[in-house]
Structure 1
Amino acid sequence: MLTAVDVTGNTILARDAQKKQNYFCPACRQRVCLRLGQIRVQHFSHVQIMTCRAMSEGESVEHLFGKLQLHTYFVSLGYQVTLEKFLPAIQQRPDLVVESQGRCFIIEFQCAPISFETIKKRNTGYARIGLQVFWILGTPYQKQNLRQTTMAKFAQIQQNHLGFYYWVSQPSGGDLQWQEWSQVDGINGKNQMMTPEKIVKKQIYQIQLRLLRSEESLRSLAEKVCQQGRILTGVPWCVHNFEKLPGGLKNDHWLTKLSVLLALEGGAKSIDQLLTVIRQNRWYQFASEDVWQVQLLWLKFVLWQWLRQKIIRYQNGLFFLRIQPKWYSDYQDKQKCFTDFIEFYTQ
C-alpha cells in the first residue's frame, strides 16, 4: 500500500515517509513497516496482516506504480485525489477517491486476475454510499485477447458506448484510453478488414452450418419461420449485422435482430415491449453495469439503424414497420438483391 498514518493521525505517502518513524494502517490501525528498494516502488506493508480485511498485500510493481501515475494524472486535470482512502461505512479502501466541484467517484486500478463476485461486491459497496466506480485495466489485461466474460466484468456505458478503460503506463507518465466493446457477426481480430459482401457470406455460411448441426438454439426458430413459408437463411438483409453493435450478447446479433423484426411484424411495439423480446436472448453477466442498460443501448443502436434505412418509423411512443423487409427463397435469390441493398444501406 502507498499510504499510512503516523502517530499524530496524519496520512503519509510512502514516498515521503522516513524509515525510523512509526506508521499504522488506516483501516485496522495495526503497525506497518516502510519497504524501500531500487526495484520495487516504495510502499508500506503490515507487520502482521491477519486482522486486516480492507487491505491487499503483495501488490505488483505495476499496480503500485500505476496508482501513483493515476494520482498524478487526475491531479493534473484539476481534481482533488486521495490515494487509498479507507471508507469505514463499507470497510473498503479503493485505489483512488477523486473529487471535484461536489462530484466524487472511485478509481479501481486492476492488474491481477479478479473474480466476478469480488468486483460485484466492491461495486455494491460503493453504490451503498452513493459513489460511482470506474475500473481501469493495467498492462496484463492489454497483453491478452480478452474473453467476453472478462469484458463483461469491467464494461461500462459512457456517452452511449459500451467499453472499458486502459491505463497505458510510460516512464514519463501514462495515458488513459477507452476501448469500445462492439461486434459484427462473423468478424474477429484476424479479419477486421472484410468487405460487407464477405461479411454477409460468412454470416450466411455460419447459419447454414449451424442448421446442419441441428443446434438447439436455431431449431425452434427454423421451425417457426418454416411454418410461415420461409427459410432461416432467407432472412431479410436488414437482419444481418454489417455495422458494429454494442457487445454483451452471447448469441449472434442477427438472431436477436430477427426476434425484434418478428415482433414488429406482429404489430407496433413500444421500446419496453421490444426490451422484453430481446431479454429472452442470452446475455453475459455484467459486474460494473446493469445488464438492462446494456440491452437498452443495444436495442437503440438497432432501431436507429432501421430508422436510418427507413425500414421502421416512430410515432406516439411506438415503433412500426414502414415497409415489409423481403424474405428470400434461396441464397441465389438473396444474392441478387445484395448490391441494391448495400448501395442503399451505405448512402
Structure 2
Amino acid sequence: MFIAKTKEDNHLIEATQANHLQSYYCPACNERVRLKKGEINVPHFAHIVGSFCSASSEGETSIHLQGKLALFELFRKQYDEVRLEPWLSKIKQRPDLMLRKGNQWFVIEFQCATISIKNVQKRTKGYQQLKLKVIWILGEPYQKKRLQAGTLAKFAVIRERQLQIAFWQQEKGIIWHAWWQIDGKTKLLKRQVIHNQEQQLLKLQQAIIQSKPEIRVIQNELYHMKRFVIGIPWACHPQYPLPGGLKCAQWQVIVYILLALEKQPLTIAQLIIILTKQTWRQFGCVSIQAVQEMWLNYLLADLMSNKLLKKVADKMVLVKPLEWYETYQEKLQLKP
C-alpha cells in the first residue's frame, strides 16, 4: 500500500515522502507496517509478516503497485479530485482509488490477483452502501490467459447499454471490452450481424445426437405438443449476438419465450419471469435483474425488427404464426 499513518498524530503520509527513521501504521488495522523504499522497488508500505489486516485483500506485487500509481497519475488529469487508498471506516474497506467529478464519486479497484466472486460482491456492496459507483479494472495477469465466462461475469458492468469489462494496459491505458455471446457460448466483442444460423442448427443437431440432458428436458416438453427440438423456429437462432451471462444455450430461452407468446400476449414483467427460471452466471458488480432486462430488450428489439413481434399497449404480441419444422432437411430447405 502507498498510504500509512504516524502513531503520534494519525497523519497520513505517502510512501514516497516517508523515511526509515519514522514508525508507520496501517490506517485500517492500526498494525505496524514496514516502509519498503529502495532503488528497485516502488516505494510502498507492507504489513509485517504474521499480521492480519481485513482491508488488505491481496499481497501487492510490483505489477499491482506500478499499475495503481499509473492509474493515479492518469485520473489526476481527468478528474477534479483523486484519492489514493482512502480508508472508508464506515464499511471498513480501502479501495485503490477514489475519483470525483463534480459531486459524483467513483471507486476504482485495480485487480491483479485472483479473487473470489463472493469477495467482489461483498466489496462492491460495501461501496454501494455509500452511494459510490465502483469499477473493477483488471491488470496484466488477467490478460495473459483467455478469460472464462465466470470471470467475465465477476467483473462486468453495464456500460453503454452492454456488458463491458475494463482492462489496464501500460501502453494504451484503460481498454473496455464488450461481452456478447452467440448461442450462449462463443464470445464476441462487437454486436454485428452473424451469418452462422446454419452452423447453430448443426450444433443443435449434434447436441441432440449426443442426448445432452438439457436437450432431453425441452424435447419432452415439445414432444407433448407434437414438435421437435431440431424443428424450432429460425428465430431461435439469433442473427445478432446477445449480451453475455447465460449459462444455457440462448436458443433454449428464446424457445420458452416464443412458446409463452404463442399462448397469449405478455408484458415485459411476465417475460422477465421466464428469464429468471433459466440458468445464469453469478455477477459480481451488477444485479442479475439488470442483465436479464437488458438481454430481453435486445432480443425483443431483434424480433420486432424481423416483423415477428409487435408491441400493443404494454404487451408483446406475435404478429404471425411461428413456423415449426419436422426434420433437419426440411428446416434447411425452408430457411427464410
Q: By the TM > 0.5 criterion, same fold? A: yes
Is 273-282 or 1-10 further displaced after alignment? 1-10
1:92 aligned partner, one-letter code: Q
d(CA) in 2 for partners of 1:236 and 1:278? Answer: 19
Change in CA separation of 1:81 and 1:265 when aligned onto 2, cut-off 3 Å: same
Is 248-257 or 212-221 further displaced after alignment? 212-221
Equivalent residue, structure 1, for 2:178: 180
Equivalent residue, structure 2, for 1:5: 5
State the Cα distance separating 1:137 from its structure 2 match: 0.4
Deviations 1:90-134 (A, max 9, x none): 111111111121111211000011111111111122222222211
CA RMSD of aligned residues (A): 2.2
Equivalent residue, structure 1, for 2:298: 301
1:5 aligned partner, one-letter code: K
Equivalent residue, structure 1, for 2:315: 318
1:83 aligned partner, one-letter code: L
Is 297-306 or 210-219 further displaced after alignment? 210-219
- TM-score, normalised to structure 1, is 0.89
Equivalent residue, structure 2, for 1:226: 223
d(CA) in 1 for partners of 2:58 and 2:303? Answer: 52
Are residue 277 (structure 1) and residue 242 (structure 2) matched?
Answer: no
State the Cα distance separating 1:330 from its structure 2 match: 2.0
Aligned runs of 1:1-347 on 2, under 5 Å? 1-6=1-6, 7-47=8-48, 50=51, 52-56=53-57, 58-170=59-171, 174-185=172-183, 188=186, 196=194, 199-338=196-335, 341=336
Aligned length: 333
d(CA) in 2 for partners of 1:100 and 1:186? Answer: 37
State the Cα distance separating 1:186 from its structure 2 match: 8.3
State the Cα distance separating 1:321 from its structure 2 match: 0.4
d(CA) in 1 for partners of 2:307 and 2:45? Answer: 62
1:235 aligned partner, one-letter code: I
Equivalent residue, structure 2, for 1:345: none
Is 63-72 or 215-224 further displaced after alignment? 215-224
State the Cα distance separating 1:75 from its structure 2 match: 1.1
State the Cα distance separating 1:254 from its structure 2 match: 0.9
Structure 2: runs of 5 or more not aligned:
none
Change in CA separation of 1:169 and 1:311 when aligned onto 2, cut-off 3 Å: same
1:121 aligned partner, one-letter code: K
d(CA) in 2 for partners of 1:58 and 1:224? Answer: 52
Deviations 1:45-93 (A, max 9, x none): 2346625322346311111011111111111113311111011111111
Matched residue SS, 2:266? coil
Checking the alignment, whether the CA contact within 8 Å between 2:309 and 2:318 is kept in structure 1 is: yes
Checking the alignment, whether the CA contact within 8 Å between 2:185 and 2:249 is kept in structure 1 is: no
Checking the alignment, whether the CA contact within 8 Å between 1:234 and 1:329 is kept in structure 2 is: yes
2:126 aligned partner, one-letter code: G
2:288 aligned partner, one-letter code: V
2:4 aligned partner, one-letter code: A
The percentage of aligned residue pairs carrying the same residue is 36
Matched residue SS, 2:175? strand
d(CA) in 1 for partners of 2:326 and 2:206? Answer: 18
Matched residue SS, 1:126? helix
State the Cα distance separating 1:205 from its structure 2 match: 2.1
Change in CA separation of 1:57 and 1:219 when aligned onto 2, cut-off 3 Å: closer
Change in CA separation of 1:31 and 1:223 when aligned onto 2, cut-off 3 Å: closer
State the Cα distance separating 1:202 from its structure 2 match: 2.5
Matched residue SS, 1:324? coil
d(CA) in 2 for partners of 1:226 and 1:24? Answer: 69
Matched residue SS, 1:273? helix
- TM-score, normalised to structure 2, is 0.92
Checking the alignment, whether the CA contact within 8 Å between 2:184 and 2:247 is kept in structure 1 is: no
Deviations 1:158-198 (A, max 9, x none): 1210121111123xxx51111111111287479x9xx955x
d(CA) in 1 for partners of 2:104 and 2:87? Answer: 18
d(CA) in 1 for partners of 2:53 and 2:324? Answer: 64
Matched residue SS, 1:178? strand
Checking the alignment, whether the CA contact within 8 Å between 1:126 and 1:132 is kept in structure 2 is: yes
Is 181-190 or 42-51 further displaced after alignment? 181-190
2:205 aligned partner, one-letter code: Q
d(CA) in 2 for partners of 1:186 and 1:4? Answer: 46
d(CA) in 2 for partners of 1:239 and 1:48? Answer: 57
2:226 aligned partner, one-letter code: G
